[in-house]
Amino acid sequence: MSTLPYAELHAFPDGDRPFTGNPAGVCLLDGWPENRILMGIARSNNLSETAFLVRKPSEADTWELRWFTPAIEVDLCGHATFASGAWLFGRDAVSGAAAKFDTRSGRLTVRRDGDLFAMDLPKVGYEPGLSNPLIEEALGGGAPDAVFDVKRIHGADYKLVVYPDEGVIAHLKPDHGALAIANTNTIVTAPGDRTDFVSRFFAPASGVMEDPVTGSAHCTLAPYWAERLGKSRLTARQIGPRPGALEVSPSGERVTLFGRALPYLDGVLTIT
């Protein structure tokens, strides 16, 4: 039997509203166990993502980082990286300016930015794509303004679907069974009423029906809206059953996400 430090944080909460933002599990390991152990923990947590950290003794403030949904290991997860950095700062485990993570998507960092945290992620590109009638019918939002194909993140097909206004996004009641048949992770977005843009994210190909506030999706949303609105830093809300808020700033091939991560649970996991 062994115990592992574990926490759950809510990344990118919606202002001061409780039970908002995206829950992420963060688990600190001494070394990498078999994948079945990592997968078992993620399934038991049943959160959209659990982050696993192993400190690198050869470099200060640096950890190896892997992410698991309840179904698969993924190549990029923003909110669980953000939560990992915030948790490490909260434990006074970071001696310098930033927590550094070596991942399948390269080196990622989380640093303090005044009262917020700032996370550096790679841009995820997009290009004009073809409409998929199955997806659009399953979303139930009518004809979109535009559809883009998104560079693969987790080995799955991705679409970015743009609607005319926030109301369409807020009132979507998708047919998750039909989206699962399409097997395409889908970001939906529109201009915001009180923010620069809003979005929701449906990820059936990654084992997640709807993700609350998705860092990796904003690696596509940020450059799209920055180009469309001509702004270098934008305000964003991911709306839906569990909303959240953040700011984004694309620059070249990178995107910085700004926000908060609220502690929710702190303790240990017991593995028999």
Among candidate residues 117, 149, 126, 138, the one with its CA nearest the CA of residue 204: 138
* Strand locations in 130-233 (E): 146-150, 157-162, 184-191, 197-203, 208-211
SS (H, E, C) 239-253: CCCCCEEEEEEEECC
Task: Confirm whether 49 is a catalytic residue.
Answer: yes
Cα gap 134→204, rounded to integer Å? 14
Query: What single-letter amino acid sits at 79?
Result: H
User: 131: which residues sit within 8 A by CB, 6+ positions away?
Assistant: 144, 147
Q: Looking at 49, 136, 210, 247, which residue is catalytic?
A: 49
User: Looking at the annotation, which residues are catalytic?
Assistant: 49
